Structure formats: structure tokens, C-alpha cells
């Protein structure tokens, strides 16, 4: 189990690095205005799609896996078909930057997922919901 956890952390680190780099280079303006939900809904089994659950996972992931960066806030999130997109703000060496974290529901837990995992298959063959796939992989 420890090896799997470490592999997820490495994949999530790589994915977050790519998302953060894209945000810094591309100005990262989000077209979506999805506001965090105040009422919990179950997504992908028992994982709860609510602001508290998403915030806790994203904050823990960023603070633990990205040295020099700390979680600042959750701007918005969207859940669909056992996946979630969390649009956040992070502090990286004194600068507040936008970042996007992708999560996959595994039972009752949200697990950070990498862009590499999401984009491993062409969209037509993927089980990742179209909105999540499009945002992660940049295809339309």
C-alpha cells in the first residue's frame, strides 16, 4: 500500500506541476463560474462532493506534496461521475497563484489524480467525464 500511495503522490505532483506551470504561463483564466455547493451530494460511491471534503483533500495534498507552496483557498469545484475539479489559490514563495487539482473518488475518499492518468487514453476511450477530461487535457 505504501508504494501505491507514493506513486499517487508522485503522479499528483507531476500533474499539479503541469497545471501550475500552465496557469503561470497561460494566465489561467477560468471560463467556469461554478460556485462551491453548500449541500453535500454523493459522487462515485460514497465520496461526498461538498466544500469541506474537497477543501480538506486539496489542502492536505498541496501542503504535503509541494514544498514551498501552501494552500490559500478553494475558489470553486465541480464534481461529475466520480471525479472532481478543484480551482484553488496557492501561495508559492510569497506569490498567490491559481492552481487546479483533479480528484478521483475511490470509495468514500477523494484521491488526487494526475493529468497523466486522466489523459492516458484518447477522450473517446476514456471513462473520465468529458468536462474533467477537457479541462485536464486541453481538448475540446
pLDDT of residue 112: 96
pTM over 0.85: no
Q: Which residue in this structure is represented by grid cell 484518447?
A: 122
Containing structural domain, residue 22: 2-137
Q: What is the pLDDT of residues 51-109, one digit of tens each?
A: 999 999 999 999 888 889 999 999 999 999 999 999 999 999 899 999 999 999 999 99
Domain count, the chain: 1
Instruction: Over range 36-60, report the average pLDDT.
Output: 75
Report the first-to-last Cα separation within the chain, whole angstroms. 36
Cβ–Cβ < 8 Å for 34, 78:
yes
Q: Which residue in this structure is represented by grid cell 505504501?
A: 2
Question: In this structure, what are the phi and psi dihedrals at residue 36, rounded to the nearest 5 degrees?
Answer: -55, 140
Question: What is the spatial distance between Cα 41 and Cα 48, in angstroms, rounded to a whole number?
Answer: 6
Amino acid at each position: 500500500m505504501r508504494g501505491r500511495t507514493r506513486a499517487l503522490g508522485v503522479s499528483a505532483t507531476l500533474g499539479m506541476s503541469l497545471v501550475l506551470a500552465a496557469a503561470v504561463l497561460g494566465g489561467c483564466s477560468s471560463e467556469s463560474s461554478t460556485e462551491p455547493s453548500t449541500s453535500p451530494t454523493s459522487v462515485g460511491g460514497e465520496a461526498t462532493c461538498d466544500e469541506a471534503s474537497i477543501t480538506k483533500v486539496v489542502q492536505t495534498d498541496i501542503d504535503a506534496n509541494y514544498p514551498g507552496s501552501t494552500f490559500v483557498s478553494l475558489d470553486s469545484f465541480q464534481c461529475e461521475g466520480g471525479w472532481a475539479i478543484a480551482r484553488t489559490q496557492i501561495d508559492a514563495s510569497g506569490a498567490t497563484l491559481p492552481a487546479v487539482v483533479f480528484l478521483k473518488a475511490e470509495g468514500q475518499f477523494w484521491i488526487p489524480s494526475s493529468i497523466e492518468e486522466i489523459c492516458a487514453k484518447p477522450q473517446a476511450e476514456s471513462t473520465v467525464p468529458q468536462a474533467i477530461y477537457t479541462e485536464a487535457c486541453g481538448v475540446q
